[in-house]
Amino acid sequence: MNLDSFEHEMEKKILERGYQYYQDGHIRSLKETEAGLYQAEVEGNARYRIYVELAEDNTILASECDCPYDLGEFCKHEAAVYFALRERKSEVQEQQVIPMPKSRQGPQKEAIKKMLEKASQEALADFLLMLAEGSEELKTRIELAFGDENDQQEVKRCRKLIQSYIDKNSDRHGFIGYDQMWEALKGTELVLEKSRDVLGKGKAVQAVRLALLVIGEAVDMTQYGDDSDGGIGVAVGDGFEVLDEVREELEDLTETERKEIFALIMEEADNRRYRGWIDCQIDLLRRSAGFIVTPAERERMENCLKKLITASQKDSWTSEYLNENILLIQYELHCRFEGEAQATAFLNRHLNYSKFREIAIHQAMGEGDEARIIQLCLEGEEKDKGYSGLLNRWREHRYQSYIRTGQLDNRRSLALEFVEEGSFQHYQDLKSTYSTDEWSDVYPKLIERLAGKKKDHRGIYAQILVEEQEWERLMQYVFANPRSIDSYYKYLMAEYREEVCRIFQHNIEQAAALANTRSHYRGVCATIRTLQKAGGKKEARDVVQSLLLKYPRRPAFRDELNKLKL
């Protein structure tokens, strides 16, 4: 399945719901964790995590969501992420950034620097005053950089600077559009720079004030801005990084500074703005817990946590999510103040929560207790069998334990389960456990077993055929699953050019018949470009001419077809 044409291989209902999620802004974050690997969070009945692996040609190599949906191969959350990924990649391709040649950048900057060095202090001051007269924003930045004011005045200046960028990039209704969001956030970037600057000068409390200002203002922007690209999340995350940097200097803080920082973060966490931002509120509480020293502070934290639990009772998912994260904060306090034995007992009492089970597994790894790891995993698999993401997490831990302990039969058995569910990585590992002669007996039975399944999970059957260079079988697979041609044409073109081009043309004509929006038309044209790229330039030209003749009354479609310039 390819990102350019995934609509052809998903259930219509799932596709429609996924597109609605994508349009309505349910995607809370989307980032590339390493080359070709993407991680997203989508808000639904709960917040679900989606992992997608893409090849260079946008083939979807792997995709997984930890939601409980199991009635089909893909869920609406994955569909929403596919739409977002395609849009992002399309934007990257369309952008034509023409940077200034490096040979000119350096000399220009150096020349300006020399001019400024020659100018008198009075001339520079007059020049800056003249610029500031026409820009309230520049005036605020100058005051922020060179002003001699107290901390509270500085916070006011910073708030004013953030607001100036928001105002400049808002429409007449006060809304910040998608294209303006990053520029609107420029003020938060400048204030974070200031917070790090004052931290470097030993003013930890003021650094915390400015970081909390950014976090709060950024969260407020979600109420009147389109954050589809995740800029607000980045600003909030950067604010938390400053809090973490302050926490690293805990030993250098005075008792007064530490108490003030604790009080500031606790006060911010109690703000009404975070009632729709549970993760942010929990992150603030977790940071504040790092500054607790006295019993009174711990009691204040415990009272705050109890208040949160009571307020969340009406929403079962929110209550469950909050309980887990609150318990994690309490566990951290047990580790710091109660000693190892009580902390371990607290951990074992809460293994019904996945994060606690994960901690227990990693502790067992550190102790080399493989039997404990396997026990924890098997219990987790039984408890979470309705949640594929968690289920696979426990199975993978168990699988790695089998490898470490040399339990070959168990390793092979579990690897086979993973393979049948679509894991190519486990196929490669399974193969590596056999000698060449042994594999020649195992492989035919395995491939026939996969061929006989009604559903090819994640395209594992075809991936194996590619790995083993079984081109005839792969061609048969593509005949039976014509939409998969986008992913496998490059392996088949040399021996089956005519068949490949015919399948492409059939897919294009079918998709064109069903298309009724510009987005659909672009999907059709993307497949035509793939056909051309595959080496079917003449066939691509022929199909474009055929479609132009067939659909004279679809101006948007004709416009997209003519853009191909074939």
Looking at residue 24, what is its pLDDT?
77
Q: Vertex 34, ends 31 and 35: CA angle to 5°?
A: 105
What pLDDT does 26 receive? 84
- 23-27: long-range pairs with CB below 8 Å, 24+: 25/226, 25/227, 25/228, 26/80, 27/80, 27/81, 27/84, 27/228
End-to-end CA distance of the chain: 25
Please give the structure tokens belonging to residue 340.
């190892």
d(CA 500, CA 498): 6
Cα 272 to Cα 393: distance, rounded to the nearest angstrom: 35
pLDDT tens sequence across 67-78: 877 667 788 999
- Cβ-in-10-Å burial (0-12, 13-18, 19+) of 6 comes to buried
Who's near 212: CB < 8 A, 6+ residues apart? Answer: 239, 243, 264, 265, 268
What's the token pair of residue 138? Answer: 């520049």
174: left (phi over 0), alpha (psi -120 to 50) or beta: left
Show the tokens assigned to 242.
């400053």
Q: Give every residue of the chain whose pLDDT is below 50, as ranges.
A: 94-105
Residue 160, both tokens:
């004013």
Confidence at residue 179, expressed as pLDDT on a 0 to 100 scale: 84
- The structure tokens listed for 525 are 């044209």
Quick one: pLDDT at residue 101? 42
Nearest Cα to Cα of residue 165 among 193, 182, 184: 184
The pLDDT of residue 148 is 63
- d(C-alpha 196, C-alpha 478), whole Å: 57
pLDDT for the residue numbered 129 = 76
The pLDDT assigned to 91 comes to 60
Q: Token pair 């991936």 is at which residue? A: 463
> Cβ distance 81 to 71 under 8 Å?
no
Q: In what order do the strands lie in the sheet with 47-54?
A: 27-34, 37-43, 47-54, 60-65
508/501 Cα distance (integer angstroms): 11
Distance of CA 493 to the CA centre of its chain: 35
pLDDT the model gives residue 545: 96
8 Å CB contact between 347 and 359 = yes
- pLDDT, residue 122, reads 82
Residues 6+ apart with CB under 8 A from 100: none
Predicted pLDDT at 188: 95
**263-276 confidence digits (pLDDT tens):** 999 999 999 998 77
What is the predicted pLDDT for the residue at 425? 92
Opening angle at CA 245, ends 243 and 248, nearest 5:
110
Q: Which helix (H) or strand (E) holds 42?
A: strand 37-43
